[in-house]
Amino acid sequence: MAMWDLFREMENLRREIDNVFLGANRGPVYGRQPAFLPGLGTGIYPQVNLSDDPENLYVEALVPGMDPASLELTVMRGTLTLSGERRNGAGKDATWHRNERGIGKFLRTIELPVEVKADQVRAECRDGVLTVTLPKSEAVRPRKIEVSAH
């Protein structure tokens, strides 16, 4: 007869709850999740890449069909926040036969791995890709140190 282990069951429950909140549960429900949620949605839109070199951090965000003037970027306390609203191209009286592109307000917060110079951040939008260049703070840049021989 198998023994029931309360602690093992609690650990399994904790792991399942963590997976739901962290998005690790990539079953049928996750695959059909809309990019925009009613109201002010947070989550996976826009999709971003974050990379760096010795001088800068680079964030590339996919924002196809968006007017760059409708995007708002803020940098504060180690986070970059990208928000805006994507509207549909059809009028109010349009009859939709297929509507797969999400519309609505969005908010995406990206934690930055290092301190940046917030007053020198640059952003450019071209061909549906928003590129944000964030210069790294002098304190986090690698410095070459000369070694003297005695």
Q: What is the pLDDT of residue 31?
A: 42
Q: Is 16 left (phi over 0), alpha (psi -120 to 50) or beta?
A: alpha
Least confident of 6-10, 42-46, 111-115: 42-46
pLDDT grade for 43, boundaries at 50, 70 and 90: low
Summarised one tens digit per residue, pLDDT across range 2-40 is 577 788 888 888 888 877 776 654 544 444 444 444 444
CA distance 82 to 30: 23
CA distance 55 to 119: 15
Q: Where are the domains of the chain?
A: 1-33, 35-88+103-140
The structure's pTM equals 0.65
Q: What is the pLDDT of residue 2?
A: 59
Q: What percent of the chain stands above pLDDT 70?
A: 81
The yes-or-no verdict on residue 105 having pLDDT over 60 is yes
> CATH second-level architecture of 35-88+103-140?
Sandwich (2.60)
Is the omega angle on the peptide bond into residue 68 within 30 degrees of 0, that is, cis?
A: no
Mean of pLDDT values over 129-145: 88
Using only C-alpha atoms, the chain has a radius of gyration, in whole angstroms, of: 22
Q: Which residue has the tokens 């999740």?
A: 33
CA distance 127 to 132: 14
DSSP string, 1-52: -PPP-HHHHHHHHHHHHHHHHHT---SHHHHT--SS-SSEEESS-S-EEEEE
Q: What percent of the chain stands above pLDDT 90?
A: 40
